[in-house]
Structure 1
Amino acid sequence: MKRLYARLVLWLIGPALEDIERRMVERVEREAVMRADGDMALRSRFDSIYWRITTDRDQGAIGPSFVQARKRSDA
């Protein structure tokens, strides 16, 4: 009798449980996509900053000569 009652309850609440599961899966997937987008944006920002720093360094804009040129222009 307990088995029959358990099956009846599961049959009655089964669709609601499936709906909850579907919503939770959608939420987790949405959060994962948002996190991945944020990580990619952060990586892109880091790459652009790194590229600017290395480009400036290679062109001699960063380093002792840059500081000396800055002091000369301020004087």
Structure 2
Amino acid sequence: MSLSPAKNGMHRFRRVFDAFLSDERGSTAIEYSLIASIIVLAIIGSLTAIGTALRDDLYQPVANALGG
């Protein structure tokens, strides 16, 4: 008995999906990418704080002295 094209496609999709879920080769790469994204967020937060401090402490007094 042959499966209909729709059921055959769904069966193939299920096999590929099950193989994808059972494959653990990419888990280390995902873990490293999560760690890297946390580091990037920390860097962005730090640079934002430094930029705000520079603006308030360094550039704003100069702008005020120049009449701006």
TM-score normalised by length of structure 2: 0.52
- Note the residue ranges of structure 2 that are not aligned, 5 or more in a row: 1-22
Identical-residue share of aligned pairs (%): 5
One-letter identity of the residue aligned with 2:40: A
Residue equivalent to 1:31 = 39
**Cα-Cα RMSD:** 1.8
2 CA distance for matches of 1:37 and 1:29? 12
Residue equivalent to 1:48 = 56
- Note the residue ranges of structure 1 that are not aligned, 5 or more in a row: 1-13, 60-75
Q: Which has the higher helix share?
A: 1
Higher alpha-carbon Rg: 1
CA positional deviation for 1:58 = 5.7
CA positional deviation for 1:19 = 1.4
Residue equivalent to 1:4 = none
What is the number of residues matched between the two proteins?
A: 43
